[in-house]
Chain A
Amino acid sequence: MAILEAQHLEKHFGSTQVLKDISFSLNQGEALSIIGSSGSGKTTLLRCLNFLEKPDSGTIRVRDELLFDADDPSTQLESEIRKKRLHFGLVFQSFNLFPQYTALQNVTLARELIAKERGGESREEILAAGEALLEQMGLADRAGHYPHQLSGGQQQRVAIARALAMQPDILCFDEPTSALDPELTGEVLRVIRNLAEQKTTMIIVTHEMAFARDVADEVIFMDDGVIVEQGPSKEVIDNPQEERTRQFLSRYSET
């Protein structure tokens, strides 16, 4: 069953159209990779799903619930958007950890605020959950460290734990290893691979082709704001059908 359904998404920045009639769906427990060159609209698509950008047209559904319809302003109320965002988690390219909080506080802050608002979990439960997440990320001994005391790879893993703490339906990654030194990408990719093995529903924008091929179930190749090709990851990457996809992938195999 499709957990996410995006239909006919379009987005303009001024006179440039960055997304052109984007439609795709994602099944529960699957990992979807979005590949494509810089400026192809991958990041904008993720930002639309997380309501950081507002699409000019199109709809977004999660579990058959209409979250966003560009033609229906009642789906765009600020107070509603905030709750709808929680269906999605987003891990940023540049981590964006809160520098004044420890790793553990980064993970627990938003969940504590939600619990305060809605009732439910106690502080102790949230702290325990946060510690468990950091442990899952291999960072149990870093809980009390501040972001600037952590390496890039560690910071990104804290950011993943922070996103997971909100228990999103769909976890999105925006080039999670692009800001990292090459020797640090492995530890982050390993964590994402583990999440895929646990059947976490994910969308991963990445330039790591081998990783996309191995870890993702499906791949979308985007170019110039359109989905050029879409299919099972091994098929698309090993045996692309479209000329543009072939050209794009050949640039990777050369290096």
Chain B
Amino acid sequence: MFWNVTLTLAKGFAASAQIFFLTLLFALPLGLVVAFGSMSKWRPLRYLCNLVVWIIRGTPLMLQLIAFFYIPGILGHNVWGGGDAGRMTATVVAFSINYACYFSVIYRGGIQGVPVGQREAGQVLGMTRRQIFFRITLLQMVKRIVPPMSNEIITLVKDTSLARIIAVYELTFTGYSFMKSSGLVWPLFYTAVFYLFFVGVLTILFNYIERRLDYFR
């Protein structure tokens, strides 16, 4: 029984991990785009980015999941296709947009935290904007944002459980369904072990990154 449950939960865990990694894959770069947009000198773009960030951060992720998944269908054009794959796609899209907005604010803080003198030093040395960003600002920004980003990313691990609201078979939903199917309560609580394991690995990873960036100040 125990192994049976473990195996089933492992499948749910795989779905959770899939949401997690795909969200990071899209939200990490998208957040940077939004961050630049929200710092743009061109006002309409800045306002648009700030509006999107406000809406996304101002409403529950669960509500956004429901909206992303159902509204296209209600409007008569179901873009997600049917079945589990469609649900997964909608989940990843909603999560990516949501997390990109949170990341963008952290990025912006990190970029603005790099002293102006660093950019000016690059400028007087004849470096292009792109070179200044990638060769000078980026690593200093990364160093600054590791602690707040690790917070967000750890939150993301547990937020994947929200996907059950649109019936994605992720870890929590898998554990919960044992209650309905076989009247077992313990598998739901057993899922905590998976989350703890995952977050433990991430914590070790973040500590490693912080140590690796410790060589400069």
Contacts and interface: CB of A to CB of B under 8 A. Distances in A.
Interface of A: 50-52, 82-83, 85-86, 88-90, 92, 94, 96-100, 109-110, 113-114, 146-148, 162-163, 166
Nearest to A146: B216
Contacts of B124: 50, 52, 85, 88-90, 163
A148 B131 contact: no
B77 interface: no
Nearest to A166: B125
Contacts of A82: 123, 126-128
| B interface residue count range (under 10 / 10 to 19 / 20 to 34 / 35 or more) | 20 to 34
A76 to B, nearest CB: 15
A254 to B, nearest CB: 33
Interface stretch (B7-15, B112-120, B157-165, B180-188): B112-120
Contacts of B122: 110
B139 interface: yes
A50 B126 CA distance: 10
Interface in B167-217: 215-217
Contacts of A100: 139-140, 143, 215-216
Interface in B102-157: 115, 117-118, 120-128, 131, 135-136, 139-140, 143
Contacts of B136: 98
B127 A99 contact: no
A83 B121 contact: no
Contacts of B118: 96, 98
5 contacts: A89-B124, A96-B120, A100-B216, A113-B127, A162-B125
Contact of B120 (A88, A92, A114): A92
B123 A94 contact: no
B132 to A, nearest CB: 10
The 8 A-B residue pairs with the shortest CB-CB distance, nearest first, are: A110-B125, A96-B117, A96-B121, A148-B217, A90-B124, A99-B216, A100-B216, A86-B126
